[in-house]
Structure 1
Amino acid sequence: MSSVVPAPIARQPWSMLFPLITLIAFGAAVLYSAAGGSMQPYAQSHLVRFALFLVMAAIMTRFSRQWVKFLAYPIYGIVLLLLVAVEAIGAIGGGSQRWLNLGFIVLQPSELMKPAIVLALARFYDTLPPGMTGSWRAIVPAGVLLFAPVCLVLLQPDLGTSLALIFGGAIVMFLAGLPLRWFVIGALGAAIAAPLAFFFGLQEYQQRRVFTFLDPESDPLGSGYHITQSKIAIGSGGLFGKGFNEGSQSHLNYLPEPHTDFVFATMAEEWGLIGGLVVIGIFVLILGWGLRVARQSSDRFASLLAAGMVATIFFYVVINLMMVMGLAPVVGIPLPFMSHGGSSMLTNMLCIGALMMVNSWNRSRRARSFSA
């Protein structure tokens, strides 16, 4: 087989790429339906973005470990400056100031910070001596790295992305070996501060989302409209769905944002429970591969980097699925590789590229061990 298939193609992680490409194609089919049976404006750009970012991910596999370590803090610093620029000159949409219009692209820097914070923290803990993981030197500098962008994102305001940053950072800190008592103390502190944050820190529309989550039927035509229509779409799909391009909730504009935040509901209406299980199963394959890459890494930096990228994608998937099923408040987090959106696709493909890069490092290490 090696004589037939070129080596650069043969050494790609096809156990992950085949499920990923399948998910992208399925997402394009759902977006085609969401547009009323047209490749424009969603499905075509979805496929083009994936193709471009897949090339980017393949290029990332050529980066050496030392080069990535060298770039970790500069990348974090650049994205942090972009977040500051959002506060100064960012474009406003939907009541939030989250985007930078660069002319050739409208960029959401908070999305880029998700992989950037994982990279910076992995670099920090790689240089920290193991004996210091129980001291303040393990938490204070890392806390500054994490909460500086979190505070900037909260100003936009964007609670969902802030929680994603905290989740990815916390996973890296936990796997780095920080004492469990610190996480327990942090969780207790968050529980105590939650009521104050709710009444004094959240915007009015964010408070309404929480109330709607607790009782969506109290205002089914107002604040509860999104989640009510989402559950109707998912439930009406039944076991096998209504059929491709036959979804009434999305086609008749009952379902809000059928191509972004609620794309899973669009899919479930037409493909039913079977389609939903297929999507979840593909995510399990992709994330499971990522975890194997993290476990097989021989050094601290690569292991933390890979695990953090898996955690970032995992947060996207779980929160979006819980959101569309009414198990979490609506926080505006798209479903990876299925929702339409350039910044989301870029972020998730950066995570995939980082995992492919670490996998390449693992392959090189095994090849050197075998030759030795």
Structure 2
Amino acid sequence: MTLSGGLTRPGERDRPIIKFMEVDWTFCLVLAMIAGIGSLMLFSIAGASWEPWADKHLLRFGIYFVMMIILAMIDLRVWFAIAYPLYAVGLLLLVAVELVGDVSLGAQRWLSIGPLRFQPSEIMKIGVVLALARYYHGLSADSARLSWRLLIPAFMIIAPVLLVAHQPDLGTAILIAAPGFAIMVLAGLSWRIILAGAGAVLVAIPPFVMFVLHDYQRNRVLTFLNPEQDPSGTGYHILQSKIALGSGGLLGKGFGLGSQSQLNFLPEKQTDFIFATLAEEFGFVGCFGVLFLYGAVIFMALRIASISHSHFGRLAAGGVTATFSMYVLINGAMVMGMAPVVGVPMPMLSYGGTVMGTVMIGFGLVQAVRVHRYTEVTSGKGSLV
């Protein structure tokens, strides 16, 4: 039964069928379109074959899509309740990685528990967003703008960022820090702190690059500044990517006709540099179309955040959107030679289950914010009005 204006009665909002209908299916369709384009590109670069990447990409998306819809049915008060425990578990797992983590290719990022092998840093991408959204939910506007209480969220961000950076995994550290900072800004952080922080970061970058980064990370930064200095070594990735981007022109060479990817000149063509493959085969028009879809996802996610009745819901959805936006921004800049190569894939487009899982779980939270947008979350158990 509905009230005037199409609103359901409070008691009816918890019915599964009503929740299911409240899911933003246009949002889901755009995600499916991006994943579908990713599968087509993986099909192309594998020599017109569904194996070894395209079929798995579609299967993973199907599984994570169902997971996203299930997560959308979870009440915001449940997300609120698990925020701090999830953050605490993620932080403990990061410490465990430091002590007993698996070492692979010179990095200690993985943790094995029985047959399960995973990266705890992926948990923190969601954990930090939830924990910060819960913290700011109970903070007054004046305290969120400028007070000593801001040291707490600053520590909540810095602790996992330092642990992840030490693994070393600079890309993931950025993907944890940037959305965390975005939530602080959305919560009303004073512009004085924002400008002071930006100035401090700019001043700290040169000594950070020269004295803190590992040698291979420092080489990536220096290569980004001048890739032509070592075209067959450290500059190879960026130069081949630029060649693929430029050779596509306006309309591209055509589906399956990208020489850089088909002849294996382009490294990591199925993961980090799949956007360069897209540019080579479909040109500027194809890249613009995909970026338009990404922009639509970001716009719809921010709109969902804006209609939530709870501060927690708004900040949580905004934080997830910031994470997704950083994926797109960093990968796009990296592929175009505007940022160092840091191993950040293009979400939903690149092959890989870990990032897709993190993104879809995050969007499950965004959909939960939409489905339960009338839920009022209190600092205690919360109540529905």
Q: What is the TM-score of this pair, normalised by structure 1?
A: 0.92
Is contact 1:138–1:178 with CA below 8 Å preserved after alignment?
Answer: no
Amino acid at match of 1:119: L
Q: Greater shift after overlay, 33-42 or 163-172?
A: 33-42
Match of 1:122 among 133, 138, 151: 133
Q: How does 1:247-286 map to 2 (within 5 A)?
A: 247-286=258-297
Match of 2:69 among 51, 58, 61: 58
Is contact 1:115–1:312 with CA below 8 Å preserved after alignment?
Answer: no
Q: Please report how far the alpha carbon of residue 93 of structure 1 lies from its aligned counterpart in structure 2 after TM superposition.
A: 2.6
Q: Please report how far the alpha carbon of residue 9 of structure 1 lies from its aligned counterpart in structure 2 after TM superposition.
A: 5.6
Q: Does 1:312 align with 2:315?
A: no
SS of equivalent residue, structure 1 residue 45: helix
Equivalent residue number for residue 94 of structure 1: 105
Q: Please report how far the alpha carbon of residue 100 of structure 1 lies from its aligned counterpart in structure 2 after TM superposition.
A: 2.4
Match of 1:196 among 203, 207, 216: 207
SS of equivalent residue, structure 1 residue 41: coil
Deviation per CA, 1:9-68: give whole Å up to 9, x if none.
643312211111111111001111222222222111111111111111111112112211
Q: Does 1:23 align with 2:34?
A: yes
* Alpha-carbon distance between aligned partners in 2 of 1:54 and 1:98, rounded to the nearest angstrom: 26
Q: How does 1:106-145 map to 2 (within 5 A)?
A: 106-145=117-156
* Alpha-carbon distance between aligned partners in 2 of 1:191 and 1:223, rounded to the nearest angstrom: 25
SS of equivalent residue, structure 1 residue 98: strand
Amino acid at match of 1:189: A
Q: Greater shift after overlay, 58-67 or 313-322?
A: 58-67
Amino acid at match of 1:256: P
Aligned pairs, number:
361
Q: Please report how far the alpha carbon of residue 135 of structure 1 lies from its aligned counterpart in structure 2 after TM superposition.
A: 4.6
Q: Please report how far the alpha carbon of residue 7 of structure 1 lies from its aligned counterpart in structure 2 after TM superposition.
A: 6.1
* Alpha-carbon distance between aligned partners in 2 of 1:211 and 1:263, rounded to the nearest angstrom: 23
SS of equivalent residue, structure 1 residue 223: coil
Is contact 2:23–2:72 with CA below 8 Å preserved after alignment?
Answer: no
Q: Does 1:327 align with 2:335?
A: no
SS of equivalent residue, structure 1 residue 362: coil
Equivalent residue number for residue 41 of structure 1: 52
* Alpha-carbon distance between aligned partners in 2 of 1:59 and 1:138, rounded to the nearest angstrom: 35
Equivalent residue number for residue 368 of structure 2: 357
Is contact 2:146–2:190 with CA below 8 Å preserved after alignment?
Answer: no
| Backbone CA RMSD of aligned residues | 1.8
Equivalent residue number for residue 154 of structure 1: 165
SS of equivalent residue, structure 2 residue 103: strand
* Alpha-carbon distance between aligned partners in 1 of 2:39 and 2:116, rounded to the nearest angstrom: 21
Q: Please report how far the alpha carbon of residue 105 of structure 1 lies from its aligned counterpart in structure 2 after TM superposition.
A: 4.9
Q: Please report how far the alpha carbon of residue 80 of structure 1 lies from its aligned counterpart in structure 2 after TM superposition.
A: 1.4
Deviation per CA, 1:312-366: give whole Å up to 9, x if none.
000000110010001111111000001111110111111211111101012678x
The percent identity for this pair of structures is 44
Q: Does 1:164 align with 2:166?
A: no
Equivalent residue number for residue 296 of structure 1: 307
* Alpha-carbon distance between aligned partners in 1 of 2:269 and 2:205, rounded to the nearest angstrom: 31
SS of equivalent residue, structure 1 residue 70: helix
Q: Please report how far the alpha carbon of residue 134 of structure 1 lies from its aligned counterpart in structure 2 after TM superposition.
A: 4.1
* Alpha-carbon distance between aligned partners in 2 of 1:260 and 1:78, rounded to the nearest angstrom: 29
SS of equivalent residue, structure 2 residue 373: helix
Amino acid at match of 1:199: M
Deviation per CA, 1:279-304: give whole Å up to 9, x if none.
10100111100010111112211111
Match of 2:253 among 242, 253, 257: 242
Q: Does 1:216 align with 2:227?
A: yes
* Alpha-carbon distance between aligned partners in 2 of 1:324 and 1:207, rounded to the nearest angstrom: 18
Equivalent residue number for residue 85 of structure 1: 96
* Alpha-carbon distance between aligned partners in 2 of 1:64 and 1:10, rounded to the nearest angstrom: 15
SS of equivalent residue, structure 2 residue 305: helix
Is contact 2:187–2:315 with CA below 8 Å preserved after alignment?
Answer: yes
Equivalent residue number for residue 358 of structure 2: 347
Equivalent residue number for residue 70 of structure 1: 81
Amino acid at match of 1:216: P
Is contact 2:145–2:190 with CA below 8 Å preserved after alignment?
Answer: yes
Is contact 1:32–1:38 with CA below 8 Å preserved after alignment?
Answer: yes
SS of equivalent residue, structure 1 residue 53: helix
List runs of 5+ in structure 2 lacking aligned partners.
1-16, 377-384
Amino acid at match of 2:235: G
List runs of 5+ in structure 1 lacking aligned partners.
1-5, 366-371
Q: Greater shift after overlay, 135-144 or 146-155?
A: 135-144
